[in-house]
Structure 1
Amino acid sequence: MVYIIRFAHKNRIKKTYQILETDKLTLRNKIILGLLAITFGIVTYGLIELEWGFTEMSACFFALALASGLIAKFGFNKTTEIYVDGFKELIFACVIIGLANSISIILTKGLVIDTIVYALFTPLKNIPTALSAVMMMISHSILHFPIPSYSGQAILTMPILTPLSDLIGLPRQITVLAYQYGAILMDLIVPTNGALMAVIAIAGIKYNNWLKFILKPTLIILVLAAIAILTAIQIGYH
């Protein structure tokens, strides 16, 4: 937080003043907002009770878009044009997500991931326990590049790290802590994180510019995480 506040102070921009002209909500506006609330309610119920996925959610919002356009008296043509214009803003983000996921798929299907996991974690048994815990976090950080999925990374690494932790006398909870710190923090950096790439693509931010901004605070947080892990070892956290 301190880093972000200091960055904002050092990169001030001139204030701009804008006069906003607002209109009162019409009956059509209220109906559309009501349909939006109902749609979210239906989607929420479907996700919780009916095990819906993206297909069902997309169908609900597609129907909402068509209904909203007709209620607003746009007609089928204009409604479709507006829908396509909105889709254009997201298509680049969709392509980025696909490319990001393809890296993980290639490494997984090519059985390269197992080799990476073995090379990262096997040497940890030969170093002191405290250093091993910190290196686990760093290894998880590196591994999150080819495996942006939390569950996938846990499934691949925990069968190796659990017995390794028992062998070197490291509490299993600290092993999980190292996984949480290492994997989750890397979501701010790794280009294989489809959500990150989609967000910065929609915002019109180049990845190299984002990396220059976020790299330093991420490293600071990793250092704090390493201190937290060492503290956990000292106080017997388990």
Structure 2
Amino acid sequence: MAKRKGDFPTAFTVLFIVLIFAAILTYIIPSGSYAKLKYEANKKAFVVTKPDGSQEELPASQGTLNKLGVKVDVGKFQDESINKPVAIPGTYEEVKSNPQGFIEVLQAPIKGVYDTVDIIVFLLIIGGVIGILNNTGAFDAGIAALSRATKGKEFLLIVVVTVLISLGGTTFGLAEETIALYPILIPVFVAAGYDAIVCIAALYMGSSIGTMFSTVNPFSSVIASNAAGIAFTEGLSMRLIGLIVATALTIWYITKYGKNIKNDPSRSLIYNERDEIKEKFLKDYDPKNILEFTLRRKLMLIIFGLTFVVMTWGVSTQQWWFTEMTGLFLFVAIVLGFISGMGEKRFVEKFIAGAADLVGVALIVGVARAINIIMDKGLISDTILHYSSNAVQGMNSSIFIIFMLLIFIVLGFFIPSSSGLAVLAMPIMAPLADAVGLSRDVIVSSYQYGQGLIAFITPTGLILATLALVDITYDKWLKFILPLMGYVAAFAAVMLLIQAAF
């Protein structure tokens, strides 16, 4: 089909535009690097990698850390609370420029797919499981039952989903795992009279708000506090208050939008795509011809639901990652195939068809990683951090903390990994708080809020892969989310000023 005049580019095109922009930056921003410190457990020693690539082995002692200006308890390295290379303050050096040209840009998406193959396989297996469930009619029967149960109280879907996902985000960094929920919940929200954006907002913003106001999340609050040389409980009460208020604000915003489109569907930002979305997610669902919610279908949905409980347990307590999660869903797919009684040939056919539906989404994850690869190879992330740390020195404390929020918004675009940004930035930025009379927990909060805010919209994160699930263009999401982003940004700034004052 020919592209209609005025259509916004697809997610792939947006990502390639950002990829080219990142490559251009490698020609403009000088290459540079901090020396990095890593604990080698097998040697029981620190290994320092200098900007020129040379390495030096040092004793794994508190004295070594103090001498290097890394104000962290040595035990945090030895118990692997900090297991990534940490930037050493005062060691930044410009290095030989490594601009990324045409060949590098061309190869980056391929390398990005290699780097994210664990996520990609996870998505494909999830697609296969959903293909099995769709074929059995379990989803359609379940949607009908849920629609009857929530009749007149559909707003509870928004409240329950946003709160639960926010809790997952604040406790163990629930983010990539939510991708599995979109194909399941979008039909439920659409059948309830909402549009797909309401479902995306409840899931994506629930996760984003939860991780932005992380309380005990080991991948942000804990590792950032460790790298800053403080206990993660410092500043915890303020972040908890922020979590409650920001989650409530997000629910109000989504509910308001949802109520408007239930009253007048033409006010939906994706009104023109409503038929295509219903065809994709509610193809076999007919409220006038409800499938019987049989014991077999109930059992299949119960098993599928329990899979997410097991996954949450594994990620939060057993250090599971994508290999374990993917294995879990593959096992569940086989179990559901047996229960369904559909036979081996039909099982394989529907599983592959379901996986095929998510191939485009999986590839977007790889292309998004390509942007990070270009910036890493161009050696510009450390330079941006160095310039930022110099810019805030000598500022008034109130101006300083707001400026820190802005800095982490920028850094969060270039370094979307929460743990990666924490170990790179905290040893450099946290000591700056001492110079302006602030406690270091304020820096940890500014890091969380800044990276959390940019995650609402950054193409290098999960949002484009999420939108691709429903074929919603990026401009529609921006139109929906930017007002809420403004509200949350203003609230975060106020919270930082209050935290700094006390």
TM range (shorter): 0.7 to 0.9
Task: Structure 2: give runs of 5+ residues left out of the alignment.
Answer: 1-248, 267-285
What corresponds to 1:232 in structure 2?
499
* Number of positions where the alignment pairs a residue of Structure 1 with one of Structure 2: 231
Of 107, 110, 124, 2:375 maps to: 107
User: Equivalent residues in 2 for 1:60-75 (5 A)?
Assistant: 60-75=328-343
Q: Which letter maps to 1:175?
A: I
The RMSD of aligned alpha carbons is 2.7
Closer/same/farther in 2, CA of residues 203 and 129 from structure 1, 3 Å limit: same
Residue deviations 1:141-190 (CA, integer Å, cap 9, x gap): 11111111111111111111111111122221111121121111221110
| 1:145 aligned counterpart, secondary structure | helix
Partners of 1:69 and 1:25 in 2: CA distance = 16
Partners of 1:229 and 1:67 in 2: CA distance = 49
Partners of 1:177 and 1:41 in 2: CA distance = 29
User: Equivalent residues in 2 for 1:87-102 (5 A)?
Assistant: 87-102=355-370
Structure showing greater relative contact order (alpha-carbon pairs closer than 8 Å, 6 or more residues apart): 2
Structure 1 position 134, deviation (Å): 0.3
Judging by fraction of residues, say which structure has more helix.
Answer: 1
Closer/same/farther in 2, CA of residues 221 and 23 from structure 1, 3 Å limit: same
Q: Which letter maps to 2:344?
A: F
| 1:126 aligned counterpart, secondary structure | coil
| 1:144 aligned counterpart, secondary structure | helix
Q: Percent identity?
A: 32
Residues 431 and 440, structure 2, Cα contact 8 Å, conserved in 1: no
Partners of 2:253 and 2:302 in 1: CA distance = 41
Partners of 2:304 and 2:476 in 1: CA distance = 36
Structure 1 position 82, deviation (Å): 0.9
Residues 442 and 496, structure 2, Cα contact 8 Å, conserved in 1: yes
| 1:83 aligned counterpart, secondary structure | helix
Runs of 4+ in 1 over 6 A off after TM superposition: none
TM-score if structure 2 supplies the norm length?
0.42
What corresponds to 2:488 in structure 1?
221
User: Equivalent residues in 2 for 1:1-238 (5 A)?
Assistant: 1=249, 2-8=252-258, 11=261, 12-13=264-265, 18-26=287-295, 28-29=296-297, 32-33=300-301, 36=304, 51-194=319-462, 196-234=463-501, 236=502
Task: Structure 1: give runs of 5+ residues left out of the alignment.
Answer: none
| 2:450 aligned counterpart, secondary structure | helix
TM-score if structure 1 supplies the norm length?
0.83
Closer/same/farther in 2, CA of residues 159 and 91 from structure 1, 3 Å limit: same
Partners of 2:441 and 2:318 in 1: CA distance = 34
Q: Which letter maps to 2:265?
A: I
Judging by fraction of residues, say which structure has more strand.
Answer: 2
